[in-house]
Structure 1
Amino acid sequence: MRLIASDIDGTILGHDGRISARTVAAFRDAADAGIDIVFVTGRPPRWLDPIRDQIGHTGTVICSNGAVTYSLESESVTASHLMGWETVEEVRGIIAGLAREPYFALESLDGFHVEPGFLPRDRPPSLQAVIPEALTPAMADGGIIKMLSVLHSGSADEFLDLVRPRVAKLIAVTHSAPEMALLEMGPLGVNKAVTLAEYAASKDIDAADVVAFGDMPNDIEMLGWAGAGYAMASGHPGALAATALQAPRFEDDGVARVIEARLAALHRT
């Protein structure tokens, strides 16, 4: 074990925005043992406060499902994969023809752009400052890293099954929001595994020496690529089917338990 790659939401972070003391201690002990730590998330760079403030991580975070590599040490984007406006426009048209009243948003390197109707009326405080506006080609100037589409009814799995067959040759599409029909779409051929593999190669670390944790469909490729990919027992069926290894439930500090056991095994050798 030379590298630990962990998803954030639902894997180490709960709905209350907290990471358990046991999990914080497990990552600290792994870092003290010389193991590289990288967090791999669907979150954009601006939503990394939990790992910065609670774990004290100052290294690399792979954001936006692999579209962005971000350094917490320098607070800067170190690499990115971008989408063109033509792709956004084509995919938007396809989804609008498949689903009733889909709404769209774009994540770019310079901000979050949502069209009217995308956000629910009870949108969380973190999004209160976002002003709904028409999505325009000018937004591509900021470097589009993620496209989102939401239905205010139905499930994410149903929405994904409807859309994926029609857009799979244009864009990478997945989801990580079990309680809403929200799709996350990124540059074609880019996912968490692709960018994690690039990061590991830059450190001369083989996939066999990587331990990864995840819980949702956007973690599937990463769990399959890592030498030891652990799906959370509390995770989505798709994530659980992607790997033979399973960590205890999030509520039971599953990630911490696996890291503790693996560190103990290292000390015995």
Structure 2
Amino acid sequence: MIASDLDGTLLRGDGTLSPRTLRALRTAENAGAEVVLVTARPPRFVDRLAAATGLAGTAVCSNGALVYDIGRRTVVSSRALSVAVARRVATAVAGAVPEVGFALETGNQVLYEPAYRLRLSEDIDAELPVPSLADLWLTDVPVTKLLAWSARLDADTLLAAAREGAGAAGREVQFTHSGGRGLLEISASGVTKAGTLAELCAGRGIDAAEVIAFGDMPNDLTVLDWAGIGYAMGNAHPAVLAAVPAHTVSNEEDGVAHVLEGLFGPPAAP
């Protein structure tokens, strides 16, 4: 199995999948490998990528909260974050870290309160404001992630402050970040990319030793550590480069393709 993150890993900085990398993925599939996308992104982003590239198969989305059948556009399994837990964590974090805004990711939409001012141009159609922070907790839609955003703090600093400030409430969730601008991602306790990928592999009879993983950010560390071999991208976060022994070149240099071509031979013809 080839398990790859998307942003900063499989995709270039402009969000595209290069022809070389797409050919390398096809070559690996033709050799019998399954390609699984393992991303912080929600299914709606994977749908757009699939439409542009023809990628199919399975994606582990929202940092492990969802398993998504790309071809059928169907969520196969999910591990939701309780809104009550999200509220307790947000209340604790807000009390410890001033000027933090919050949003709820549902897989289909991002519900955000006024203090959450992060806007993603590629996701604008899915962003839905609510009048106040209190209104955020009234949703009856299953939640995949609580998002916390700071205009003042970078993601690493916000992550450390939120973990400390959350106190006992922090034991009910999983904190991480994927390099977004001052953006912290909070999932249900025990939800990680590696945990969900391991369950997926177990159902397929695939051992960790048979998995080759690629990633660049702290939310990828669980997968890079669990897989038989994990590759940190040349552009990876310093903590990832320090923790992961195997490195490849950057996403802009088609680092994933660089490794796959060495393993599976030259890419198939365009």
- TM-score where L is the length of structure 2: 0.91
In 2, distance between residues paired with 1:129 and 1:172?
24
1:210 aligned partner, one-letter code: V
Alignment correspondent of 1:216: 217
How far apart are 1:18 and its partner, in Å?
Answer: 1.1
Closer, same or farther: CA 125–57 of 1 in aligned 2, 3 Å = closer
For the aligned residue pairs, the C-alpha RMSD in angstroms reads: 1.8
Name which of 167, 173, 176 aligns with 2:175. 173
Deviations 1:44-72 (A, max 9, x none): 11111454134422111000000000101
Alignment correspondent of 1:89: 87
How far apart are 1:203 and its partner, in Å?
Answer: 0.7
Moved more, 90-99 or 107-116: 107-116
Contact 1:110-1:143 at 8 Å conserved across structures: no
Corresponding residue SS for 1:169: helix
Contact 1:214-1:232 at 8 Å conserved across structures: yes
Contact 1:171-1:185 at 8 Å conserved across structures: yes
In 2, distance between residues paired with 1:159 and 1:42?
18
- Structure 1 runs, 4 residues or longer, greater than 4 Å off: none
Does structure 1 residue 126 correspond to structure 2 residue 127? no
Alignment correspondent of 2:149: 150
Contact 1:17-1:50 at 8 Å conserved across structures: no
In 2, distance between residues paired with 1:163 and 1:198?
29
Contact 1:5-1:38 at 8 Å conserved across structures: yes
Corresponding residue SS for 2:171: coil
How far apart are 1:165 and its partner, in Å?
Answer: 3.4
**Residues 158-169 of structure 1: matches in 2 within 5 Å?**
158-167=157-166, 168-169=170-171
| Alignment gaps of 5+ in structure 2 | none
Closer, same or farther: CA 99–222 of 1 in aligned 2, 3 Å = same
In 1, distance between residues paired with 2:28 and 2:49?
15
| Alignment gaps of 5+ in structure 1 | none
**Residues 92-131 of structure 1: matches in 2 within 5 Å?**
92-120=90-118, 123-124=120-121, 126-127=123-124, 130-131=127-128
Does structure 1 residue 189 correspond to structure 2 residue 190? yes
In 1, distance between residues paired with 2:187 and 2:37?
18
**Greater RCO (CA < 8 Å, at least 6 residues apart):** 2
Deviations 1:180-232 (A, max 9, x none): 11100101011000000011111100000000000001101010000000010
In 2, distance between residues paired with 1:12 and 1:54?
14
How many matched pairs? 260
In 2, distance between residues paired with 1:252 and 1:124?
25
Alignment correspondent of 1:64: 62
**Residues 221-240 of structure 1: matches in 2 within 5 Å?**
221-240=222-241
Deviations 1:145-183 (A, max 9, x none): 1000000122111111111234441210111125x1110
Corresponding residue SS for 1:10: helix
